[in-house]
A and B are shown apart, each in its own frame.
Chain A
Amino acid sequence: MYPEPENIWQRIEYSSFGTTIAESTWMFPTLETIHVIALVTVLGTIGLVDLRLIGVKGHAARVSQIAKDTLGWTWGAFALAAITGTLLFISKASSYMINPYFLVKMGLLALAGLNMLYFHSTTWRSVEQWESGEYPKAAKVAGWASLIFWIGIVFCGRAIGFTLGIYF
């Protein structure tokens, strides 16, 4: 059936969990679909906050309002994307681990997380003071960085689908 696993990624891939998803005709596409619905929710809600930070004003008078309205949806959808993403990963772990787009995508996810963490522990602390006037440069930089990281994440995610299996 399956060859003897040579490393941890093959061990994951050849587990009964991994082979069940890989061998099923519908599980992988279904997980992908849920992953897409989750990620467009993450992207859309984060995008609303980022756009407000960089100066697009139409949709919210104050950035803290739009952040409050969307935060729960962002985290809920992110959890769903992470779960479905992990399941997709398990079914082809060794192919993903040698795919440069997958590795770059994980790197960009980490950068997006660090950007958010840094912004929230610094500039965001005084949001109530600055959000009624001109937004500080740090807020604009954080917004642009987040947008660029997330568009990069989508690009890499799509690129994985076109390059899986061409790296050995």
Chain B
Amino acid sequence: MRECLYGYGAIASFWQGKISLMDDLLFEFTEWLRGTPVTELSLWISDTRASEWIAMHFWAIPIFQVIHILSISASFVAVLMLNLRAFGFAGSATLTEAANRYSRVLWWALLGLVGSGFLMIVGEPVRELVNPYFWVKMILLVIGVLVAAAFAKSLAKQGEATGSASGGTKVAGVVLIVLWCMIIWCGRWIAYAPV
């Protein structure tokens, strides 16, 4: 029993060490951001009438977040369905049909995400822009969109050529799911940035 507890303690302190190292890095990132024009930009945004309006209305931010979550749902399920179709687990439609259909859902959902995300930035510019998770999320988002575009395109193309997805395309699909989870992770952790 004691050995078991000791083992647990060692694992916990190992991870605690990793976490505090990451916290330090993120904290330094925030400190660096404070010295860049991003800070002035976010202060300028917070002085705009739109930002003041959002700040005055308690339910504005939660409602933008609900739209954001609904859009995440649509985009995530589009990525999931594209994967299921690529792996042959779902759908009676051809690969090309499924690819066209769900990539359209994905792009519309992304528009909803960008729109609601923009409103959240206008409402709480300092909280969002002077935040390390926000910028990690933006980098992952750019990579995610590029991978998604390539994935959807090769699905449609391989659908026409052979009717089934290649190994490489399947790998891209799984990578896309992981990227999407990481983006969601960063999004939630914007609220928990070490400042």
Contact = CB atoms under 8 A, between A and B. Distances in A.
A44 B101 contact: no
A128 interface: no
Interface in B29-79: 58, 61-63, 65-66, 69-70, 72-74, 76-78
Contacts of B139: none
Main secondary structure on A side of the interface with B: helix
Interface residues of A, number: 31
Contact of A40 (B69, B91, B92, B192): B69
A155 B72 CA distance: 14
Contacts of A33: 184-185, 188-189
B12 to A, nearest CB: 10
B99 to A, nearest CB: 12
Given A29-B192, A41-B76, 4 more contacts: A43-B70, A43-B73, A43-B77, A44-B73
A145 B58 CA distance: 27
B73 A69 contact: no
Contacts, number: 84
Main secondary structure on B side of the interface with A: helix
A41 B62 contact: no
Contacts of A69: 81, 84, 89-91
A162 B64 CA distance: 13
A155 B184 contact: no
Among B89, B91, B93, the most chain A Cβ lie within 10 Å of the Cβ of B91
